[in-house]
Amino acid sequence: MSAEGLQVLIVDDNDMASELLSEFVGLLGHEAKTAANGNDAIALCAAARPDVIITDIMLPDYDGYELAARFRKELGNDIHIIALSGLPKNNQRPEAAAFNHWLEKPVDLSTLEDLLAQVDRKPA
């Protein structure tokens, strides 16, 4: 199934970074929404379930590992969760398994484009 038209949620407390990433995702033909913290991301997911969540690890109100684990538990295994962080992945944390992919900042846009192209949307 084509990844065209994915609903993407970007969670990052750096407004400029999330807006630039949102614009890039939009140029790829997807719809992007942004949240500056975990609580806003949870509210957006409750209102409209995204196909992909791209989240930073260091957020003002949530640890990105814990946020991803919560999304995985609430939204299931067909949601794609991508970490985008300046930190290396900590495989010692059990929550690390919640991520489908881990990208380090600065993001390689062609890698992100390839990941989004591989996402299969599941019917609701």
| Measured distance CA(118)–CA(32) in Å, rounded | 17
pLDDT tens digit string along 13-46? Answer: 999 999 999 999 999 999 999 999 999 999 999 9
- Distance of alpha carbon 83 from alpha carbon 55, whole angstroms: 5
For the chain, which residues make up each domain, given as ranges?
7-115
* pTM, 2 dp: 0.92
List the beta strands (DSSP E) in 42-116. 52-55, 80-85, 101-104
Nearest to residue 83, comparing CAs of 61, 115, 114? Answer: 115
- Superfamily in which the 7-115 domain is placed by CATH: Response regulator (3.40.50.2300)
Examine residue 106 and say whether the peptide bond preceding it is cis (omega within 30 degrees of 0).
yes
Question: pLDDT tens for residues 79-122?
Answer: 999 999 999 888 899 999 999 999 999 999 999 999 999 997 65
